[in-house]
Amino acid sequence: MKIFLDTADAETVRKAQATGLLDGVTTNPTKVAQSGRKFREVVAEICGITPGPVSAEAMGETAEQLIAEAQQIAAIAPNVVVKIPMTMAGLTAVGVLEGEKNIRVNVTMAFSSTQAYLAMKAGASYVSIVLSRLDAIANESDILIEDAVTVKQNFGFLTEIIGASLKTQNHVLSCLRAGVDVVTIPEGLFFQMFEHPLTDAALAQFAEDWEKVPK
């Protein structure tokens, strides 16, 4: 399972990239706004830090607007993937972008297995299922991602399923069990996964005992 960092902060990407375990980055309008920087500058810098795919969002409302905007975003760097909304106009744009323009697309804000199916059928490179928002309204996100993986396997789709906006390690575990292709996680969760109190306790004990060993 690939790990994408969900951020628009370049320094955070550098820190995660240095571990050798980062596979890509996703951004969204909220995170870019929080950075206080220009959109194209943020995307270009992040694309220069990680060789993996970097998702950046198109905000048009019609298929034509989304196609035009996606072409501009994709021109920023060769590893850009354009986020397209899970709407009728969005999926219409996906067919053109993936089929005619050779632009990789990440269909975002999918909240049902049937939406995920349509994104796969449209030919998207990625479809993002936003787990934390589902859990916030008491929907069982683990069942949804299991269904999405089953749909992919049943029909041989090539679209990579993204478990998006994960907030807890239990979310990560659900995605690992389901066989999800990619997860997007914030900086805090990424670095939290390296840690465990039993690891800390064992290493501290080893360090203490090592001081007693004759040198």
* 31 part of the active site: no
| Pairing mode of beta strands 160-164, 24-26 | unpaired
Q: Report the half-sphere exposure of 10 (CA within 13 A, side-chain side).
A: 14
Q: Catalytic one among 83, 101, 167, 212?
A: 83
* Number of Cβ atoms within 10 Å of the Cβ of 99: 11
Spell out the alpha helix ranges (H) of the chain: 10-17, 29-35, 39-49, 63-74, 88-99, 113-122, 131-136, 141-155, 169-178, 187-192, 197-210
| 165 φ/ψ angles, rounded to the nearest 5 degrees | 55, 45
| Token output for 113 | 């297995």
3-state secondary structure 181-202: CEEEECHHHHHHCCCCHHHHHH
- Alpha carbon distance 116, 86 (integer Å): 9
Which H helix or E strand runs over 174? Answer: helix 169-178
| Pairing mode of beta strands 160-164, 182-185 | parallel
Q: Which residues are known catalytic residues?
A: 83
